[in-house]
Each structure stands twice: as structure tokens, then as C-alpha cells.
Amino acid sequence: MFDEAEPSSKEPATFRVPKRFLEIARKVACHRDSRRWALLYRVLWRLTHSESRLLEVVVDSDMHELLRMEKAVRHDVHKMRAFVRFRRIAVEETEWYVAWFEPEHHIVELNSAFFADRFTAMRWSILTPERCVHWDLSKLTFTAGVPRSEAPTEDGVESLWIQYYSHIFNPGRVKVQAMQSEMPKKYWKNLPEAAVIPALLEQAPRRVAAMMTKSEAKRTDQLEWHPAEPPATRDLGKLREAAVACKACPLFKSATQTVFGEGPEGARIVFVGEQPGDQEDLQGKPFVGPAGQLFNRALAEAGIDRATVYVTNTVKHFKWEPQGKRRLHKTPNSRDIAACRPWLEAELASLRPKLLVALGSTAAAALAGPDVRVTRDRGHIIGTPFCERTILTVHPSSLLRARDEETRRASYELFIADLRLIAAEIRR
């Protein structure tokens, strides 16, 4: 006698299930609980045997359990994205970034495309106790898990990160309990910034008091900051469209519009400036004002056609203060820059430039970290997480501000020399 569950020869060899079930199943399959397979099989059986609308019955005990597991895996995926911290190591003169993470579920494969997409220009490995994933700039590979002792613990990147974290740490927003639930203690040991958290927490009341004495406008400004959330796409058009409505920092209120990057999608060189100026704000395009015109002239002199390069800014809204009838440029602060950073990262992940050029110190710090100095480091090829060949040079507006004609001419010549180097580098 046949078992009831055995398919009869008359049953079709294929069957249909809702797409949503496949999405859920992909995550539930990564749950640590070994009962997941029986549960998935049961739900699949019921879906294909007269309960085709089962997914809508959220009170059903199987569905309840399925969605609970899906949620736990989603949460773990999010935690991994938020708490993986890469440390730089040198492997036979090649820079490699290594992170240690202990996921609760089997999510390494599920999450790897995200990291390849976000950190596409650097070689990295994420080590975990069960499974490791590696990116060599072209493909993902997976190997068996390793003990924690395999993960490097100290380096320069770490101290940069700690500085950055201390800088963006907002004592007025500290909620210790919420912080611990968002950043559970078990992850702290992997986070370089965790070492400074106790000190920062201890200083928090004093810093809050100091902040409170500052003007109401400034306080509002700080409360209104949060990182931008670009859609998860590589499509520049879609990113540009989404950036139109960005309200991640208060700059959108006084600016005319978001000024997104501009240039062909296949551009091999990407130039990053600081923020749009008055003209850029009005026209909605980067580098079209006086600094932009100087930039165009210098590009042409160095043999680079502006139409072939992509030009963008670290901050996408014009920050200004009134002076009479004029709108005077105001340098963006670390909060403006951090809020806007996800847009720049998304643009670079989409473009994957062969050469990345920071124009001025704001862009240089955003791309290469706070320790770089444009005057010291200009004209050298350095590696950054966004592009293996990154070059720093001055901002064209610094030439406009030169104190006399002679200085202006000399600075312009140096700028052209940097651009010629870039032109030669891209021809190599």
C-alpha cells in the first residue's frame, strides 16, 4: 500500500506556490532551529493541497511560527549589516579588510551580495564561526568557519573609526537601554567604538548640558539629523529620483533642491566636490557656477572631456547663510556629511569608477578618512574602500580665493598637473 504522502503518478510534476512563500522560505531556511525544515515542508504541503491562501492566515500556528522565524533571520541580517567592522591587514603587499562577526543564524550566504555591492572596491573577508565569505574584487567565495582568534583586532582603520564615532556620537540622544537592544553587548567586542562608549556615556550629561546652552536653532538642527536611506538599487536614475525627496538633514529646508551627481553611467573617472554652491542650487547641477567654470577649463587643458566624467558632491544640498541679499557658502559639518554619505556611497557602488578624485578636503576626508591632508597627499594614488585608485587634489574654488594673481596662477598650474596625472593614469 502507498503511503498517503506519496505522489500518485497522475499528479503533475510541477506545482505553483505564491512568490511570497519563496521569499519567506529563503530566509527561514537560514534559521538555526532544526525544526525549520519540517515546518517549511508542512506549509508547502498545505499550500499545494487546497490551502493556497494559507499565507494570509496569520493566526494559523504554522504561519505564526514561519513568520516568527523569518523575522528573526531578517533581524540578524540587519544586525550583520550594521555591526560588521572591517580591519585593514596587508597580505603580500595587497590590502585586505577582515571582519569578525557571530551571526545567530546561517545568514552568511544570504547577506554576502549586500557586502559585495557595498564594498565592491576593496578586498575583504568576513569570518564567522560557521562560514566565511571572501570578496576578491570580482567574485564571492565561501570557506568553512574559523575560530575568533583568526580575526585581526588592531589597526589604523580602527583608530580612525573610533575618532569618527566619537565625533558623530550625540550625547543628547543616548538611551542606554535602546542602545543595548539595538547594539547588543555580544556585538560590542567586535566594535572598535565600543571601547570609547563607556567614556562617552560618562561624559554625556556634561555634553548634553553644554549643548542645551547653544541656540535653539542649532539644537533643532541636531535633532533633525539622520542618515539618508537610498533605495537598494544600482540604478543611478532611481537613486537620483529618490534623492529629490531627501530630508535626512535640515539643509533641505533652505536649499532650492537636491543637487545629485551628473555624468554618464559608464564614466571611468568620478570627481567628488564638497557641496553645491549658489548657482548649482538654482540650476540643480553640480559644478556649474564660478568654481565649475574654472574646473571645466582646467579639465579641458589637461585633456579630460567633462562630458565623459561623473561629477558629484559629498553633500547634496547647498548650505548657506544670508549676508545682505547674498547667500554665503557655509561649510558642511560632520553631521551634514554623515547624513548625506549613503547617497555618495550608493553613487559610487553604482558607478564603480576606475579612478576616484576628491576635490578639496571635505571630499578627501569623506573618501579617505580624517587623517588625510590634501596639501600633503595630493597627486598620489591611494586605495580607499570606494576605489583602489583614489587621488586627492585641491578644490577649484580654492584657486578663486587665492590672495593674489601670482598665487592664483601657480595654484592653477599645480591643479592642472594633478589633472594631467589623472588623465595619464586613466590611459594606462
CA diameter of the chain: 99
* CA distance readout (Å), 51 to 42, 54, 77, 112: 11, 5, 30, 34
On the CB side of 369, CA atoms within 13 Å amount to 15
Order of strands across the sheet that contains 140-144: 87-91, 94-100, 124-127, 131-135, 140-144
Interacting residue with ligand URA among 277, 332, 342, 385 (CB under 6 A): 277
User: Alpha-carbon dihedral of residues 373, 374, 379, 383, nearest 10 degrees?
Assistant: 50
Closest separation in Å from C-beta 291 to ligand URA: 4
* CA distance readout (Å), 196 to 42, 163, 204: 49, 9, 12
Is 347 a binding residue for ligand URA by CB under 6 A? The answer is no
Is 393 a binding residue for ligand URA by CB under 6 A? The answer is no
Is 315 a binding residue for ligand URA by CB under 6 A? The answer is no
Residue 390 host element (H or E): strand 387-393
Count CB atoms within 10 A of the CB of residue 150: 12
Interface segment toward ligand URA; rule CB under 6 A; list 95-103, 113-121, 132-140, 279-287: 279-287
- Work out whether strand 355-359 and strand 381-384 pair parallel, antiparallel, or are unpaired: unpaired
Q: How far apart are CA 101 and CA 118, in angstroms?
A: 17
Closest separation in Å from C-beta 283 to ligand URA: 10
Interacting residue with ligand URA among 103, 263, 286, 353 (CB under 6 A): 286
Q: How far apart are CA 394 and CA 361, in angstroms?
A: 7
Is 291 a binding residue for ligand URA by CB under 6 A? The answer is yes
Eight-class DSSP state of 403:
S
Closest CB to ligand URA among 32 and 285? 285
* DSSP string for residues in 317-365: S--EEEETTEEEE----HHHHHHHHHHHHHHHHHH--SEEEEESHHHHH
Is 388 a binding residue for ligand URA by CB under 6 A? The answer is no
Closest separation in Å from C-beta 239 to ligand URA: 17
Interacting residue with ligand URA among 70, 158, 193, 280 (CB under 6 A): 280
Closest separation in Å from C-beta 262 to ligand URA: 9
Is 289 a binding residue for ligand URA by CB under 6 A? The answer is yes
Closest CB to ligand URA among 28 and 348? 348
* CA distance readout (Å), 166 to 65, 127, 169, 203, 336: 41, 26, 5, 11, 16
Closest CB to ligand URA among 87 and 317? 317
Interacting residue with ligand URA among 103, 261, 292, 332 (CB under 6 A): 292
Is 313 a binding residue for ligand URA by CB under 6 A? The answer is yes
Closest separation in Å from C-beta 373 to ligand URA: 18
Closest separation in Å from C-beta 366 to ligand URA: 11
Is 397 a binding residue for ligand URA by CB under 6 A? The answer is yes
Which position has the grid cell 530630508? 247
Interface segment toward ligand URA; rule CB under 6 A; list 40-48, 195-203, 280-288, 364-372: 280-288
Interacting residue with ligand URA among 125, 128, 275, 393 (CB under 6 A): 275
Is 258 a binding residue for ligand URA by CB under 6 A? The answer is no
Is 353 a binding residue for ligand URA by CB under 6 A? The answer is no
> Contact at 8 Å (CB) between 153 and 129?
no
Closest separation in Å from C-beta 329 to ligand URA: 8
Closest to 211 (Cα-Cα) out of 180, 172, 251: 172
Closest CB to ligand URA among 192 and 353? 353
3-class secondary-structure state, position 123 = coil
Is 276 a binding residue for ligand URA by CB under 6 A? The answer is yes
Closest CB to ligand URA among 140 and 300? 300
Closest separation in Å from C-beta 273 to ligand URA: 3
Query: Binding residues for ligand URA, per CB under 6 A?
Result: 273-277, 280, 286-287, 289, 291-292, 313, 397
